[in-house]
Amino acid sequence: MRKPISFPKQVGTASRQAHADFPEEAMYEREAGRSGFFGPATHFHHQHAPTGWSDWEGPLRPRAFNFQELQGLDTASPWVAPNLLYNAHCKFRIWHVSEPMKKLARNADGDDLMFVHEGGGEFFCDYGHLTLRDGDYLVIPRSTNWRLEPTSPMQVVMIEATNGAYQLPDKGLVGNHAIFDPACLDVPDINQRFKDQYSEDSWQVEVKRHGEVSVVTFPYNPLDVVGWHGDLAPVRVNWRDFRPLMSHRYHLPPSAHTTFVAERFVVCTFVPRPIESDPGALKVPFYHNNDDYDEVLFYHAGDFFSRDNIEKGSVTFHPAGFTHGPHPKAFQAGLQHKKKFTDEVALMLDTRDALSVGEAAHAVENSDYVKSWQEK
């Protein structure tokens, strides 16, 4: 096994502990680390904010999109929703659905993770029935037949693990029941609502494979299962079930909030929690380099304490290659410990491979976002 070159060393004036007790002459800490937040790292203490750029040229820049402004997302098929951010291992889409699906969907390209941003409805699949509401995550295994019947218009984030599968993270020292207990995971049920949709009427299945859709027609409803057994099924969990890890003396990295992992990316969830109370502890996300991962944040609800002027339904995208962190107002508020509790809910996607920006996303980009770290 290869090991990183490692030689813990201190040069100049530095704190003994990361994210705490900064030198008086250098209040800005910057973390340069590898492998997300799991590899070797160095913490620099700067006299100026690492995001204090006065100008930016070239395509590598922090980006923001208001996906609430996207048009044409309300479709009967999830496969019509455009790829907004994507690479060979991951596809990020947003899909609006307000009417019951008339055809079944089946993704032969990989697992799908759905996050219900708004609305709710009834989910029917090979395994049975589930009721969905806002804030629900739903993992749909590859090649599952499924459909939605919205009870109110639904806005859904869809993240495809292309040619891959979703798993739960290794929770290490804190044990299997931390963050959320696996007992919180719900699976579909063969209940009366599911049995009521049995039908001898003709149904079609839209199967997506290699990004192309084929349509298979059956002279009956293929969702006709009467029972099943095994350890593969869709699972649902709501962010309200989460009990986030925290320390009153240390600002934990985003990796402490990991919800799902796939082969080349992870999905994290930030939910309300107490803010660090120790006088020397950092109270906002720390400045850090994006050296190995692209970072995407979808803002679901609440007051996003590290960002200015970001509305729910918006997305920020920080590609690998530069330092980013809290906006100036948020950083100053953290120094003054103005807030004692966060009330934000946000989904984070970190990908090991570079993401491309889809054509539809370009139309709703805030081109001034790169300037938002400049002191007003």
The answer to whether 156 and 115 have CB atoms below 8 angstroms apart is yes
Residue 307 has pLDDT above 80, yes or no: no
Interval 312-318 mean pLDDT: 92
Helices (H), the chain: 192-195, 328-335, 359-362
Interatomic CA distance for residues 114 and 111, integer angstroms: 10
Residue whose C-alpha is closest to residue 46's, from 340, 275, 290, 331: 331
| Cβ atoms < 10 Å from Cβ of 302 | 15
Nearest CA to 59 out of 343, 354, 374 is that of: 354
Domain with CATH 2.60.120.10 in the chain: 28-65+245-373, 72-239
The highest-level CATH class for domain 72-239 is mainly beta
| More confidently predicted of 374 and 213 | 213
What are the CA-CA distances from residue 13 to residues 9, 28, 43, 288, 333 (Å)? 12, 13, 11, 19, 25
pTM: 0.92
- 248-296 tens-digit pLDDT: 988 888 888 999 999 999 999 999 999 888 888 888 888 888 788 999 9
Q: Taking residues 197-225, report their average pLDDT.
A: 97
**Do residues 112 and 90 lie in contact, with contact meaning Cβ atoms separated by under 8 Å?**
no
| Average pLDDT score over residue span 236-251 | 93
* Binding site listing for homogentisate: 324
251 given a catalytic annotation: yes
DSSP string, 55-80: ---SS-S-EEEEGGG--S-B-S-GGG
Does residue 215 or residue 59 have the better pLDDT? 215
Residue 25: HSE in the Cβ half-sphere, 13 Å Cα cutoff: 3
Distance (Å, whole) CA 229 – CA 22 = 55
Known binding positions: 288, 294, 324
Q: Rounded to whole angstroms, how far apart are CA atoms 150 and 221?
A: 19
Residue 115 has pLDDT above 90, yes or no: yes
Q: Binding-site residues for Fe cation, please?
A: 288, 294, 324
- Name the active-site residue from 251, 257, 300, 327: 251
**Domain 28-65+245-373 of CATH type 2.60.120.10:** yes
Would you call 206 helix, strand, or coil by DSSP? strand
Torsion of CA 22, 28, 34, 35, to 10 degrees: 90
Nearest CA to 180 out of 269, 266, 265, 116 is that of 269
